[in-house]
Amino acid sequence: MKPGDVVLARLQQSDGKLKTRPALVLANMPPYGDHLLAGVSSQLRHEVKGLDEIISPTDQDYPASGLKVASLIRMGMIATLPSNAILGRVGSISSLRLTRLMGNFIAAMKVT
C-alpha cells in the first residue's frame, strides 16, 4: 500500500465498534510499515470545511478511486493499522488531492 491508495479496513467507530469501510492511505509509518489512514464515509453531511474533502462522480480521479458513491474523506477520522489489518486495495486518488488533504491535516495540527 502506498499514500493515495483507497483500501478496505476495519476501523473503530465512535461507538467503539469495528466497521469495514474504505480508508485512504496517508503515509507508511516507520519502523514497521504500519499505515496511517483517514476514514472514508458516504455521510457527506459530516464534512468539516477546510479539513475534509468530498470526492464525487464528476471528479476526474473518482473512477480510479474504486468508491461506489460520492464520499467524504474524513481527515479527522485517523487510524494507524498494520498491513495485515487492511483487507485490500480498491483504488487510488490523485496526487494533487492527496497533497491538498495532507496540507489540510497539517494546518489543523498547528498549535495556536
pTM reported for the whole predicted model: 0.92
Number of domains in the chain: 1
Domain membership of residue 55 as a residue range: 5-109
pLDDT digits (tens, 9 = 90+) for 49-61: 999 999 999 999 9
Burial of 2 (0-12, 13-18, 19+ CB in 10 A): exposed
pLDDT digits (tens, 9 = 90+) for 22-32: 999 999 998 88
- Does the structure show a pLDDT above 80 at 112? no
CATH number of the domain enclosing 87? 2.30.30.110
In whole angstroms, give the CA distance from residue 35 to residue 87. Answer: 13
pLDDT value at residue 15: 86
Q: What is the mean pLDDT of residues 88-98?
A: 97
